[in-house]
Structure 1
Amino acid sequence: MLGRKKKNELEVKEIERYEKKGFFMNYGKMAHKRFGFLVNSRLKNFEELHAPLRKGDIPLNLGAYVSAMILTTIIVGIVSFLVSIIVVPLFLGDFINSIVSPERPVDFTFNLTLIFLITILTAVSTFLIFWIYPSFKAGERSRKINLALTNAVNTMATIAGTGVPPAVIFWSLVEFRRYGEVSRESEKILNDIENFGLDLVQALQRAANRSPSPLFSELLWKMIATIRTGGNLREYLYLEGNRLMEIERMKTEAAIETIGLIAEAYVTALVVGPVFVIIMTTIMGIMGTSMSQVNLINNLVVYFGLPIGYALFIIAIDQVAPKR
C-alpha cells in the first residue's frame, strides 16, 4: 500500500513537471543551479506566480523561474550601470538637465545621482516585468483560446454526432491544428491519457484546472458532468457552441462602444489637451512666470506626456479591439 502510494506520488510529480526544451528552460535551470540555495527557502514569497506559470504554459517550475528572475535582474542592473557610466557624462546628463533645470549647470553629483537612478529603475523594471510576465502570458493564451473556442466547439459537436468516443474529439482537434491554443490544450489532454495513464475524466479535470480561459474550463467541467451522467455530448456541445457565439456577439458590440469612448478621450487628451497647455503656458509667460518653468512644463508635455499618452491609447485599443 505504501509502495503504491509512493509510486502514485512520483507519477503526479512527473505529470506536473511539464517541460519543453529551449533557451529559456536551459537558462532557468542554469539560474536555479546558481541561486537555488537562496530561492528554495523563500518560495512562499513567490507562491502567487505558481498558477500563472502553469496557465501561461511557461516551461519552468517556480524555483527555476524565480532564479531566472533574480539572475536577470542582477545582470541587467550591472549592464545598465556600466552603460550609464559612459552615456550619462557624454550626453544624457546634459539632455535630462536641459529638461529638468536648464538654468543649473551639470555637475558630478547630478551625473552620479542620474547613474544610480537609471540603474535602480532598470533593475526594478526588469524584476517587475518578470513578475507580471506569467500573468500576461496566461492572459494572452486565454484570449487566443477564447477566439478559437467557438469554432472548435462547433467542430467538436459535429465529431461527437458521429458517435465516436470523447477522446477522439480531442484527437481530431489536435490533428486539425487550426484552433491554436485549443489544439494545444487538447494535445495536453491526450498526453495525460496516453503517456501518464489518466482516464478521460481525470485528464479533463487537470486541463480545466490549468487552463487560463474560464470559458474553456467551464466547457471541460460541463463535459465531465455530461460524461459522468451519461448525457448527450453532441447536444450539449451544440448548445454550448450557440451560447459561445452569442457571447462573442455581445463582446463585439461592447468593444465597438468602448472604442468610441476611447476615440473621444484621445481627441480630448492628446489633440485638444496639448494645445490648451501650450496656450496656458504662453499666457503664464506673458504674465511674468519664469520662462524656465514654462519650458519645463512644455518639455514634460512634449517629451513625456504625449509619448506616454500615445502608448497608453495604443495599448488600450489593442486590448479592447475584437480580434479575428
Structure 2
Amino acid sequence: MNRYELLCFNLLGERMRKKKEKYLELHGSLISARHTIPFETYLATATITSVIAGVLAAVVTGILSYIFQIPHMITYSGSLPVVVYEYADLLLIAGTLMLTFLSLFIVGGMTYLLFLMYPPIMAGERRRKIDASLPHAINYITAMSTAGITPAEIFRLLGESPVYGESAAEARYIAREIDVFGRDLIDALRVVSTITPSDRLKEFLQGAMGAISSGSNLTEYFKLKANQYAIENRQQQKAFLETLGLISESYVTALVAGTLFLVILQSVMSMLSGGGDPIFLYVIIYLIMPFGSAMFLVMIDSMTPEV
C-alpha cells in the first residue's frame, strides 16, 4: 500500500468499511484476485481517484469550451421561446457550465466503474491461468503422493515450484494457512477452496477434503483426478482445433475471397461507368481488411487455451 492509498484510507477508510455488505461481490473478487490492497483501502482509493479525475476533466473541458466557444457552435433551426433570445448572451456561460458538469459526472463515473470492473477481470484471468496449469499440478501432486510424501508437504513443495504458475500460488496459500495460522490440512483446504476463483480447483480441493475425512486412499483420488483432467484437456484441444478450422475457413471466405471479389467488382463497374473515384477500394484495402484481420486475431487469441 503506497502513500496515496494510505491517504485515501485515512480519509474514507472507516466510511468504506461500512459498505462492505453492499459490495460483497467486489470484496470477493478482490480476495479471489489475491489483491494486496484491503477492501476498504481499494474502495476509498476508487472514490477519491474518481472525484479527482472528474474534477480535472471538468476543469479542462470548461477551459476549452470557453476559449473555443463551443456552445456557439451549436445551431438550431426552428422557433424558440422568446425567453431564450432574451438570454442569448449567456449561452456561452450556460453551455460551458453544462459541458463542465457533464464531464465531471461522465469521467468520474467511468473511472469509478473501471475500478469496480478491474478486480473481477483480474479474478477471471487468475481462473483461466489456474485451470490451464491445474492438470500439470495434479500430475505433480500424484507423483509426490505416490512417493509417500504427506499431503501438507506436497502442497508446500508445489507452492515452492515456479513451474505451475497460479496453481502453485494457491498451494502457497494452503501452506500459509497451515504454517502461519496453525490450521490443519482440512481447514486449510476449506479456506482456499472457498476463495479460489477456479471452479475446477475448488472441486479438486473439496474432493481431497472428502477423501481425507473419510479415510480413503488419497493417492488413488489424485490419480483419478489426473486421468480425468488429462481426458478433459484432450477433448478441449480437439474442440479448439475444430473451431480453429472453422475460423480459418471463415477468414478465407470473408477476407480473402470476399474482398477480392469486391475489388474486381468495383474495378469492372468503374470501367463500365467511366468513374474514377477509388474511395470504395480505399475502404476495402485500408479499413475492411486490416480491421477484419485484427478482429480474427483477437478472437483466436481469446479462444486459445493456455498450455
The match for 1:57 is: 34
Among the aligned pairs, what percent are the same residue? 29
Match of 1:321 in 2: 304
Q: Equivalent residue for 1:70?
A: 47
Deviation larger for 221-230 or 244-253: 244-253
1:189 maps to: 174
For structure 2, the residue ranges without an aligned partner over 5 or more in a row are 78-90, 267-282
Q: Which residue of structure 1 lines up, in the alignment, with residue 229 of structure 2? A: 244
Matched, 1:39 2:16: yes
Counterpart AA for 1:48:
E
Q: Per the alignment, do residues 255 and 159 of structure 1 end up closer, same or farther by CA in structure 2, a change over 3 Å counting?
A: same
Separation in 1 of the partners of 2:107 and 2:297? Answer: 23
Instruction: Report the Cα offset of residue 233 of structure 1.
Output: 1.8
Aligned-residue CA RMSD in angstroms? 3.9
Once the two structures are TM-superposed, the CA of residue 38 in structure 1 deviates from its matched residue by 3.5
Question: How far apart are residue 310 of structure 1 and its match?
Answer: 8.2
- Change in Cα spacing, 1:253 to 1:114, as seen in structure 2 (3 Å) is farther
Distance 1:232 1:312, change over 3 A: same
Deviation of 1:159 (Å): 0.4
| Structure 1 residues 310 and 79: alpha-carbon distance in aligned structure 2, compared to 1, 3 A threshold | farther
Is contact 2:141-2:154 (8 Å) kept? yes
CA spacing shift, 1:307–1:197, aligned 2, 3 Å: farther
Deviation at residue 47 of structure 1 after TM alignment: 2.2
User: Which sits farther off after the overlay, 46-55 or 210-219?
Assistant: 46-55
Question: What secondary structure, in the 3-state scheme, does the structure 1 residue paired with 2:21 have?
Answer: helix
Provide the residue aligned with 1:233 in structure 2.
218
Over residues 290-324 of structure 1, what are the superposed CA-to-partner deviations in whole Å (9 max), with x where a residue is unaligned? Answer: xxxxxxxxx9xx99x99998887665443322223
Task: Look up the match of 2:85.
Answer: none
Correspondence for 2:151 among 134, 155, 166:
166
Name the SS of the counterpart of 1:196 in structure 2. coil
The amino acid of 1:226's aligned partner reads A
Query: Does structure 2 conserve the Cα–Cα contact (< 8 Å) formed by 1:84 and 1:119?
Result: no
| Counterpart position of 1:207 | 192
Tell me how far 1:241 sits from its aligned partner: 1.1
Pairing partner for 2:56 from 79, 101, 105: 79
Give the direction of change, closer, same or farther, for the CA distance of 1:86–1:245 in structure 2 (3 Å limit).
Answer: farther
Equivalent residue pairs, number: 266
> Is the CA contact 2:251–2:296 (under 8 Å) kept in the aligned structure 1?
no
Distance 1:144 1:124, change over 3 A: same
Q: What is the identity, as a one-letter code, of the residue corresponding to 2:301?
A: D
Question: Structure 2-normalised TM-score?
Answer: 0.72
Give the secondary structure class of the aligned counterpart of 1:212.
coil
* Distance in 2 between residues matched to 1:133 and 1:266, nearest whole Å: 36
Deviation of 1:76 after TM superposition, in Å, equals 1.3
Q: Distance in 2 between matches of 1:155 and 1:87?
A: 61
Distance in 1 between residues matched to 2:177 and 2:4, nearest whole Å: 27
**Aligned residue for 1:284?**
none
Whether the 8 Å contact between 2:142 and 2:223 is mirrored in structure 1 is yes
Q: CA deviation at 1:187?
A: 1.0
Q: Which amino acid aligns with 1:130?
A: F
Q: CA deviation at 1:62?
A: 2.5
Normalised TM-score (structure 1) = 0.69
1:173-199, CA deviations, whole angstroms, 9 ceiling, x for partnerless residues? 122221111111111111111111101
Aligned partner letter, 2:235: M
Shift in alpha-carbon separation, 1:200–1:37, aligned structure 2, 3 A = closer
CA distance in 2, matches of 1:249, 1:190: 31
| Structure 1 residues 214 and 27, CA gap change in structure 2 (3 angstroms) | farther
User: Do 1:39 and 1:67's aligned partners in 2 also have CA atoms closer than 8 Å?
Assistant: yes
- Check 1:115–1:217 CA distance in 2 against 1; reply closer, same or farther (3 A cut): same
